[in-house]
Amino acid sequence: MTLNRNAKILLSREFIGLRIKVMKSTHSELCGIFGTIIDETKNTLVIYHKGKPKIVPKKYSTFHCILPDEKIIEIEGKLLVGRPEDRIKKKR
């Protein structure tokens, strides 16, 4: 999979505080969750959705990330798997 410039930049940034929507997931009940990322672990994102935190596995999901300028970037969750601090340091 080739990534566009915006996706490469996004992968090297902190995700906490970013607005995100789960577009696809092997867990169908997670599709459509929209909110703000409040925590990130090696394998999951915690999204604040409708007043509650929802834990979403990265590996089996596809996300739309909404940037502050309202651009939307689609990212496959398997690209996000790993510790956030390692992902931020990684060269792409």
Q: Are 15 and 84 in contact (CB under 8 A)?
A: yes
Amino acid 91: pLDDT: 60
Distance CA 10, CA 60 (A): 19
pLDDT at 62 over 70: yes
pLDDT at 1 over 60: no
Containing structural domain, residue 70: 5-89
Q: Give how many domains the chain has, as a whole number.
A: 1
Distance of alpha carbon 90 from alpha carbon 92, whole angstroms: 6
Which CATH number does the domain housing residue 77 bear? 2.30.30.210
The CA-based dihedral angle spanning residues 40, 44, 46, 50, taken in that order and rounded to the nearest 10 degrees: 160
Q: Dump pLDDT digits (tens) for 22-56.
A: 999 999 999 999 999 999 999 999 999 999 999 99
Return d(Cα 34, Cα 67) in angstroms, integer: 14
